[in-house]
A and B are shown apart, each in its own frame.
Chain A
């Protein structure tokens, strides 16, 4: 247990649940997202699946940050934990920027053809 988490009311959780469970959950989330990108046809849903993948990554970062000493002998586990938690902030900001641009592009497609289905995106072939 790293010092910066001990004051939290649910801190005992990290003693009872092993890191592997968090990693498995995030791997399942990531895989669901990746499969969703491949099989879904509505671009908005495809985009939601990508967001699911990014959130799976965030969960991975936070899980590793909560268990820094399990991975390697770190001289300063608190600093390593903050590194991972900081990355999550950046990822969330970037995901928000992607939403803004992505929905804009999907809107532009709707205006041009009144429907948006990724299977109909086939004007270019070869």
Chain B
């Protein structure tokens, strides 16, 4: 028996290795750290993230390549998605330390766990192998279950961890059952298997598999009707963890979903109506439920459900016409969504002071007077979340709206426009609490705005306003990205690669 060891291109896996290694180093420092001082851990983590960011930027524009027997794929979309994950982690870490200290849960373990969680997300978006996606999903989720319950003395936090854990594990089982049926109908566990399996005698297996995978990823991406856990977990988890998971977890789930949809082009007539319905339902449920919320974090949680719906519209437009509509609008909107959501959560985090945290909308009263900087950034983020020009949120929505019209999906475009109008009401409620209402009976003390929080705010504000200028370069970079890098064009049954292909990944 001859053993064949494939050549490994370490450069492609380097961003992932850097993040995992930084997590290990951060954990080692945590063991020997001086008490109640996490500064060195934060510094090392931020340095690792910055280095990883540079590595990823260098990978942009390189040709599509795989390594580790096809387990890791490097393409434009994967690299951009990884950049968003790394950037979101960086922004979260900047304000985490002061928040955790105010909340009296300054555990150094937060940083390595969040880094490994981000690494799981990076695994999910940079592969075409379903097993690798599943492992990435679990690495991402298991770390997040712990992080959600990090505030151990707080009932809400523990409750959110339990809910997230039980529902997340439930969803993973569905995802895995879907992979089992992809495997059963094609003998492969990579995405090639989906369109190879479709068309042979047992193609109902693929349809079943596709539905199960959609349920599993729908949970992670918080698409209605699988969104029930989202508001509870977002409200209960510590605010920095909420900021982290609202972007990283969503980007990872969307990255995997986009690739799977790209390879399921053949089944489109089956799933396009279903997923269009999910997109409309997600937008509407998120926005309507947010209207009656009394808690700022919970309202922003529902807002993130609504934004998942907007993103899904952009994804559908691309998948429907992969040749003419690129993924650049989805990438652009994800960057905009990331900075405005993290910015809003970061500014709300100053309500945590001396071990207590009030996240009700009225706890923001008087923010304008006591913390004008934070209130100003919060206002800018809210304006961008509504989608008022000239913010990044407006241009992102506008681009998605145009894509939906170009892809002949007018119902989705109209639903997006109506939902944007509805969303203005609850964002106004949050802004009103921070700016207009100043009830002396409800006065709360805000934590001082730390340097890290200031930096987060400045970066988020610069991105929200500056993405307007960057719209052309971002669109240009994203133009080459595709959900299906090997098969950019329409897949004809005759052109399908044979199972014995040279790059039969996973077999």
Contact = CB atoms under 8 A, between A and B. Distances in A.
A101 B146 contact: yes
B162 A60 contact: no
Contacts of B295: 124, 126
A108 B145 CA distance: 12
B179 interface: yes
Given A64-B180, A101-B145, A90 B159 contact: no
B218 to A, nearest CB: 15
Interface residues of B, number: 55
A71 to B, nearest CB: 6
Contacts of A47: 166, 169
Given A50-B166, A80-B507, A109-B159, A98 B142 contact: yes
B197 interface: yes
A-side interface mostly:
helix
B99 to A, nearest CB: 20
Given A43-B166, A87-B131, A72 B187 contact: yes
Contacts of A97: 138, 142
A80 B197 CA distance: 14
Contacts of B232: 124
A56 B170 CA distance: 13
B184 A71 contact: yes
Contacts of B110: none
B103 interface: no
B242 to A, nearest CB: 13
Interface in A18-66: 23, 30, 33-34, 37, 43, 46-47, 50, 53-54, 56-57, 60-61, 64
B30 interface: no
B202 interface: yes
B501 to A, nearest CB: 10
Interface residues of A, number: 48
A37 B163 CA distance: 12
A17 interface: no
Nearest to B232: A124
Interface of B: 131, 134-135, 138, 142, 145-146, 149, 152-153, 155-156, 158-163, 165-166, 169-170, 173, 176-177, 179-181, 183-189, 196-197, 200, 202, 205, 231-232, 235-236, 289, 292-295, 298, 498-500, 506-507
Given A43-B162, A101-B165, 13 more contacts: A37-B166, A54-B176, A71-B184, A71-B202, A72-B185, A76-B500, A94-B134, A94-B135, A102-B165, A105-B162, A105-B165, A112-B153, A124-B231
Interface of A: 23, 30, 33-34, 37, 43, 46-47, 50, 53-54, 56-57, 60-61, 64, 68, 71-72, 74-77, 79-80, 83-84, 87, 90-91, 94, 97-98, 101-102, 104-106, 108-109, 112-113, 116, 118, 121, 123-124, 126
For the complex of A and B, list the 7 residue pairs with the smallest distance between their C-beta atoms, beginning with the closest: A80-B187, A53-B173, A64-B184, A60-B180, A75-B500, A57-B176, A50-B169
19 contacts: A47-B166, A50-B173, A56-B177, A57-B173, A60-B177, A71-B187, A80-B188, A83-B183, A83-B187, A83-B507, A87-B179, A90-B134, A105-B165, A109-B159, A118-B162, A121-B162, A124-B156, A124-B231, A124-B298
